Amino acid sequence: MTFLKQGIITTIICLAFSQLFAQTPLSLSDAVQMGLDNNFDIRIESKNVEINTNNNNWGQAGRYPTIQIGVTQGNSRRDVQNPASFLQGATITNNLNPTVSLNWVLFDGMRANITKSRLEKLQAESEGNAAVIVQNAIEAIILGYFRAVYEKERIDVLQTTLTVSRDKYDYVLLKKDLGSAVTTDVLLDEGNYLTDSINFLNQELIYRNAVRDLNFILAVSDVEQDYFFTDSLQYLVDDFKFDELQDRMMSNNANLRKEYITQAIMKDNISLAKADLYPRIDLGVSYSYDKSRVDISNTTLAGPDRDPVANARTTNLGANFSLTYNLFNGGRVKRAIKNSIINYDIENLRVEQLKQSLNLDLAAALDLYNNRVLLKGIASRRKASAELNLELSLEKFKTGTINSFDYRQVQNQYLLSAVQDLEATFNLIDSNAAILRLTGGIIDIIE
């Protein structure tokens, strides 16, 4: 029995020391900052924001003209063997033709202005998507952090219970050696001690998995990295008012703000469709220069008093305006306008639906929060009562007033109440984070 007890104690001590030397101090604010820097979803969405930022310019909207430059170089050989032809023989021609052209849409129903406005909203929409992902990530980091703290503090509770069981087991062994305890008493306390040891070791595994989950959220490459958590599992009760929370939610909720931007984009789509009702005026400017070289040395025109090479130069400069107006195309423009209006109406319904859904979520979250505040108060009182009862029962056990079975019942009650108190605290943190996420104020937790 003694060897078994020493083996259990040695295993637990080794686990504790291995974690102690591998731990890195980590506060909640540091964890959030690490997650914001490393989280894959945030990094991916930031790239989407970068793309939409690059697209948000007047060139993409079509405000500026397009200018093209080109060069054509041609070579040809023409061999004429025809008695009726004035020019007979082989003619070699080389030419070089550089060109520059400019095309500019002067008017197309204000499409460039509308497109630029739409590009700005698309950028804002991508930033809104990023804001949603950031807030969700912050909530996940907060809950992941405190989940690990919660599991760590459960280890501390089980450590207290294990220490009491070990001391009680040692005490019963001493009593047996003195002849005041029987073998059944020793076996009972040994079983309790072994049960508490199993619970402690299993909780160690649960804690390590919680830390691994946190490392995944933080995008830490070493999933086995352990931490010394500098923020404890604590809470501050807020006197939330539904009307105040609702006002903040309607102004700051990230999903709703993003939906408002989508609504504005749908409105711009109507203006884009209506732009096809107006005529289009284009300006085109072109310049070309053609230089040709003709070799007639192998033709009938060649002679001692004639230059065998003829050079020609041609310059072309032009400017033109074009006006295009669509008189009829099967009603496509009108249908496009009507469909854009319908899509805008659909988006308005989605906004109203989201508002109702958020109000429902907020009411449920606030009700759950208030309920958990009451549960936390009850859990704290139960824990304090069970802790005092454990101390008093230990003295009664030592004096023989109660037996091992009764004391074990008191010990189990303390363990249950302590764990429930920790769970009630974590649940309060969870509800508080949910309310702050809904109202757009979750970032305030780390400020």
The two structure tokens encoding residue 439? 């109202």
Asked whether the beta carbons of 316 and 290 are under 8 A apart, the reply is yes
Distances (CA, A) of 117 to 47, 56, 105, 122, 277: 21, 9, 18, 9, 19
Element (H, E) at 292: strand 280-299
- HSE, CB side, 13 Å, CA atoms: give it for residue 5: 18
**How many residues can be counted in the chain?**
447
Name the one residue in this structure whose structure tokens are 């079509």.
62
Of the ranges 61-65, 216-220, 311-315, which one carries the lowest mean pLDDT score? 311-315
The CA-based angle 260-442-218, given to 5 degrees, is 110
Distance, in Å, from the CA atom of 172 to the CA atom of 392, rounded to the nearest integer, reads: 18
Per the confidence metrics, is the pTM higher than 0.85?
no
Element (H, E) at 266: helix 254-274
Q: Is residue 399 very low, low, confident or very high in pLDDT (cuts 50, 70, 90)?
A: confident
Average pLDDT for residues 202-228, to the nearest whole number?
A: 93
Instruction: Report how far apart the first and last C-alpha atoms of the chain are (Å, whole number).
Output: 54
Whether the per-residue pLDDT at 65 is higher than 60: the answer is: yes
Domains of the chain: 2-38+108-278+329-446 (1.20.1600.10), 65-107+280-324 (2.20.200)
Q: What is the mean pLDDT of the chain?
A: 87
What single-letter DSSP state applies at residue 446?
G
Determine the pLDDT at residue 80: 67
pLDDT tens-place string over residues 83-133: 656 566 677 778 888 999 999 999 888 899 999 999 999 999 999 999 999
Q: Amino acid identity of 447?
A: E
Distance, in Å, from the CA atom of 301 to the CA atom of 391, rounded to the nearest integer, reads: 127
